[in-house]
């Protein structure tokens, strides 16, 4: 963000960093690093622990912090603990942020955290809330490019459907490589279904096992990419992925969720659904599984959204992506 790589034109940046008493010294160190790097468009760096102060009049809110899932912790408990963070931040955004503020949630489980923040910020348009799935899209493009031996930039029309979890659906059905259907360039359907898709969905955990820590640089790049996709007109015929409100979607996905889908933008910060996509039986089944998971997550946090009803019936299986928040 300090390099302004997410923005189409040179734009002065004021960064407000939200932390806690425990993280204040670390944030001060980050601020020192930013100042010493002499980023030409970075005008100021401010630190605070009160979201109402940090979010005041903000144009973009990047909600990155969330608690990781601890040993023996049920997924419902993780949703509850992190949900309370996003209740507070949603209310603060509603009170003090610019009414056109765009909100990008990175902290996991980011789809449902976005839903909670959105419900607690009724003064902001639902369309302005996003959960980050651009990192998953970038990973999918990488794997398709490596398999076909082409430059990353020649892989387009890649969608990540659903939840930012291991139920996410990397879509090779609609993807294109050098403007050809990916399924023609890579004709091995078994590889696409049973190696490519699981590889993308579990890439974060694999990175942690290799490196001993969660993704950082690639996450930062994907945040910049996600913002750039909204403030730059989408290339004709292409699209990008972001998890947004399902209200009014043309894919038959239940409304009232935050679900990653293919979008286009005119470059004004807004977006529209892509309607001309193919959903075959394999894709439909996988999308339904991710939708069902998100419905269960929503039911677990309805009380945090000011809604009655809902019971938490998440199973013991761990589909939460580790350490990417």
For the stretch 8-37, pLDDT in tens is 777 889 999 999 999 999 999 999 999 999
For the stretch 269-310, pLDDT in tens is 999 999 999 999 999 999 999 999 999 999 999 999 998 876
- Identify the pLDDT of residue 66: 86
For the stretch 174-230, pLDDT in tens is 999 999 999 999 999 999 999 999 999 999 889 888 988 888 899 999 999 999 999
List the binding residues for NAD(+): 82, 106-108
- Identify the pLDDT of residue 325: 41
pLDDT tier for residue 2 given thresholds of 50, 70 and 90: confident
- Identify the pLDDT of residue 72: 66
- Identify the pLDDT of residue 313: 78
- The full set of domain ranges for the chain reads 13-131, 134-293
> Which comes out higher in pLDDT, residue 210 or 77?
210
The full 3-state SS of the chain, as one line of letters, equals: CCCCCCCCCCCCEEEEEECCCCCHHHHHHHHHHHHHCCCCCEEEEEEECCHHHHCCCCCEEEECCCCCCCCCCCHHHHHHHHHHHHHHHHHHHHHHCCCCCEEEECCCCHHHHHHHHHHCCCCCCHHHEEECCHHHHHHHHHHHHHHHCCCHHHEECCEEEECCECCCEEECCCCEECCEEHHHHCCCHHHHHHHHHHHHHCHHHHHHHHHCCCCCHHHHHHHHHHHHHHHCCCCCCCCEEEEEECCCCCCCCCCCCEEEEEEECCCCCCCEECCCCCCCHHHHHHHHHHHHHHHHHHHHCHHHHCCCCCCCCCCCCCCECCCCC
- Identify the pLDDT of residue 70: 66
Please state which of the ranges 13-27, 110-124, 262-276, 311-325 shows the lowest mean pLDDT. 311-325
- Identify the pLDDT of residue 316: 61
Catalytic residues: 164
Mean residue pLDDT across the chain: 93
pLDDT tier for residue 315 given thresholds of 50, 70 and 90: low
Please check the confidence at residue 51 and state whether its pLDDT lies above 90. yes
- Identify the pLDDT of residue 320: 63
pLDDT tier for residue 74 given thresholds of 50, 70 and 90: confident
Please check the confidence at residue 50 and state whether its pLDDT lies above 80. yes
Please check the confidence at residue 68 and state whether its pLDDT lies above 90. no
List the binding residues for substrate: 69, 75, 108, 139
**Considering the domain 134-293 in this protein, what is its CATH number?**
3.90.110.10
pLDDT tier for residue 6 given thresholds of 50, 70 and 90: confident
Query: Domain 13-131 belongs to what topology?
Result: Rossmann fold (3.40.50)
- Identify the pLDDT of residue 10: 77
List the binding residues: 69, 75, 82, 106-108, 139
Predicted structure pTM score: 0.94
Please check the confidence at residue 100 and state whether its pLDDT lies above 90. yes
């Amino acid at each position: 963000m300090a390099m302004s790589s997410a923005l189409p034109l040179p734009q002065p940046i004021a960064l407000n960093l939200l932390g806690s008493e425990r993280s204040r010294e670390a944030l001060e160190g980050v601020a020192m690093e930013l100042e010493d790097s002499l980023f030409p468009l970075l005008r100021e760096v401010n630190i605070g622990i009160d979201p109402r102060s940090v979010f005041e009049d903000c144009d973009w809110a990047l909600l990155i912090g969330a608690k990781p899932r601890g040993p023996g912790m049920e997924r419902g408990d993780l949703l509850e603990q992190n949900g309370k963070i996003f209740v507070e931040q949603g209310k603060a955004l509603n009170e003090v942020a610019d009414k056109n503020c765009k909100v990008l949630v990175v902290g996991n489980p980011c789809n449902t955290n976005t839903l909670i923040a959105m419900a607690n910020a009724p003064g902001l348009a639902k369309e302005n809330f996003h959960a980050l799935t651009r990192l998953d899209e970038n990973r999918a493009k990488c794997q398709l490019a490596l398999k076909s031996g082409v430059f990353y930039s020649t892989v387009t029309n890649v969608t990540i459907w659903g939840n930012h979890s291991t139920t996410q659906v990397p879509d090779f059905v609609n993807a294109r490589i050098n403007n050809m259907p990916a399924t023609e360039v890579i004709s091995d359907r078994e590889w696409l279904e049973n190696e490519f898709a699981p590889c993308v969905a579990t890439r974060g955990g694999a990175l942690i096992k290799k490196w001993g820590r969660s993704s950082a640089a690639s996450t930062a790049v994907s945040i910049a990419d996600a913002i750039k996709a909204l403030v730059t007109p989408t290339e004709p015929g292409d699209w990008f992925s972001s998890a947004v409100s399902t209200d009014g979607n043309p894919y038959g996905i239940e409304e009232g969720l935050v679900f990653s889908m293919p979008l286009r933008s005119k470059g004004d910060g807004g977006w529209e659904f892509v309607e001309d996509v193919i959903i075959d039986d394999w894709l439909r089944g996988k999308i339904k599984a991710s939708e069902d998971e998100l419905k269960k997550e929503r039911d677990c946090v309805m009380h945090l959204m000011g809604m009655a009803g809902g019971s938490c019936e998440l199973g013991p299986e761990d589909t939460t992506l580790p350490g990417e928040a």
